[in-house]
């Protein structure tokens, strides 16, 4: 752009001083003609670097997602392919043989049915224990009433026998009946005690609950839910819209279900574009400023966006905790640059950005809009120059 401006300026100098001779071409005009472009270009470039700063270091970052199997087993299917083929969210990445996990689910389902049957049996036993208690209480009341009547007759027979008006045999028979009924009463009360003890044991088992469910049933149900989850994990699905890279898994391979053993890597479809700027170039930049950048992978293409944020941190500002005193050098280290994150415009959001692509960028601040056109022309010229492949072989 600077060369173009100088060329235009030289044309007008030639036209005014040489061709049309509107002004004399002497030492004064020659010095003036040389100083004007130097000052003008210098001021323009310095102003552009403040109100429309550029960066020759634009990078496309994309996060990767290592895929690790949650279960162990033999791989039976890998329906995805490595390369520039987009894998959508919830697409199947690979499947592990589900047979052992399905058998575990079947076993636990049978155990759950058995435990539920045991729970129903305990409930029936509880009802039976209540019935036995009521029966024993009813029998005890009946025998207690008969025993009271018998004891009254014993007293009567004893009084009659003492006066000689009653039979000694009737007295002995009444006493025998009283003893027999007392034994029956004790037996009824003992039966009630046994029924209550049995009821206590049953209620203790039933009271061992988790969220209102019999504890053993809840335990088997939890094991069953875990088994069903493991069965579902035999099919691994994509967590995002990504591209598959580093695919080494093949049908017949074995996955160990270890977190340190990824079987493939997913590269996210939408990356983050970041440009690096010198520290003194950032004071006029604000979130929302217009952005344009050109990538070497897309010659002649200008991508538009907005400034998302400035990452006000870099490695030189970090000091890790240690017992050593920080080392100082005779000369200060070079000033680090800060990253500026870009948001891609809706127009270019569907554009493919290769991870690791580099290029140039310009940020247009809210100042001196009139000279932004110069930076835009420079950026576009540089974008078309990306078509040139400068190799000698």
Spell out the domain ranges in the chain: 1-43, 52-62+270-316+336-388, 64-96+236-268, 100-229
Residues 305-364 have pLDDT tens digits of: 999 999 998 877 777 777 777 666 555 555 678 999 999 999 998 888 999 999 999 999
Model confidence band, residue 209 (pLDDT cutoffs 50, 70, 90): low
Cα-flanking dihedrals φ and ψ of residue 221, to 5°?
-65, -40
Fold topology of 64-96+236-268: OB fold (Dihydrolipoamide Acetyltransferase, E2P) (2.40.50)
CATH of domain 100-229: 1.10.287.620
Mean pLDDT of the region 75-80: 94
325 torsion bin: left (phi>0), alpha (psi -120 to 50), beta (else): beta
CATH superfamily ID and name for 52-62+270-316+336-388: Efflux pump adaptor protein, beta barrel domain (2.40.30.170)
Q: Give the side-chain half-sphere CA count within 13 A for 272.
A: 11
Highest mean pLDDT: which of 20-34, 204-218, 284-298? 284-298
* pLDDT value of residue 20: 83
Question: Across the chain, what does the average pLDDT equal?
Answer: 84
Q: Would you tell me the crossing angle of helices 27-51 and 372-385 to the nearest 10 degrees?
A: 80
In whole angstroms, how far apart are CA 115 and each of 108, 120, 215?
A: 10, 9, 10
Decide the pairing of beta strands 272-277 and 303-311.
unpaired
The model carries a pTM of 0.67
Do the beta carbons of residue 177 and residue 150 sit within 8 Å?
A: yes
């Amino acid at each position: 752009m600077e060369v173009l401006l100088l060329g235009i300026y030289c044309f007008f100098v030639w036209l005014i001083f040489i061709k049309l001779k509107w002004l004399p071409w002497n030492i004064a005009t020659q010095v003036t003609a040389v100083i004007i472009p130097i000052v003008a270009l210098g001021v323009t470039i310095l102003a552009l670097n403040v109100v429309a700063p550029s960066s020759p270091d634009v990078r496309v970052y994309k996060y990767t997602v290592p895929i690790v199997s949650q279960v162990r087993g033999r791989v039976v299917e890998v329906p995805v392919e490595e390369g520039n083929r987009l894998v959508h969210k919830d697409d199947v990445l690979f499947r592990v043989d589900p047979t052992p996990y399905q058998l575990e689910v079947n076993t636990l389902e049978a155990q759950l049915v058995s435990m539920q049957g045991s729970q129903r049996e305990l409930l029936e036993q509880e009802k039976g224990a209540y019935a036995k208690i009521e029966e024993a209480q009813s029998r005890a009341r009946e025998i207690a009433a008969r025993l009271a009547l018998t004891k009254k007759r014993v007293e009567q027979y004893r009084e009659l026998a003492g006066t000689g008006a009653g039979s000694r045999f009737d007295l002995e028979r009444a006493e025998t009946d009283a003893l027999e009924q007392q034994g029956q009463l004790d037996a009824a009360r003992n039966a009630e005690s046994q029924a209550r003890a049995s009821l206590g044991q049953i209620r203790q088992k039933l009271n061992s609950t988790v969220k209102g469910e019999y504890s053993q049933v809840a335990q088997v149900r939890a094991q069953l839910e875990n088994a069903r989850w493991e069965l579902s994990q035999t099919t691994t699905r994509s967590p995002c819209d990504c591209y598959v890279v580093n695919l080494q898994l093949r049908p017949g391979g074995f996955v160990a279900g270890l977190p340190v053993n990824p079987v493939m890597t997913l590269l996210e479809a939408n990356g983050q574009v970041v440009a690096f700027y010198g520290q003194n170039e950032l004071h006029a930049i604000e979130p929302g400023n217009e952005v344009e950048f050109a990538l070497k992978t897309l010659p002649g293409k200008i991508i538009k966006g907005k400034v998302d944020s400035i990452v006000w941190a870099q490695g030189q500002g970090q000091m890790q905790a240690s017992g050593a005193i920080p080392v100082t050098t005779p000369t200060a280290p070079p000033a680090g640059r800060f990253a500026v994150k870009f948001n891609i415009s809706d127009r270019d959001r569907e554009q493919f950005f290769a991870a690791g692509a580099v290029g140039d960028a310009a940020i247009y601040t809210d100042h001196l809009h009139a000279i932004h056109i110069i930076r835009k022309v420079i950026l576009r010229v540089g974008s078309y120059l990306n078509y040139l492949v400068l190799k000698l072989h």
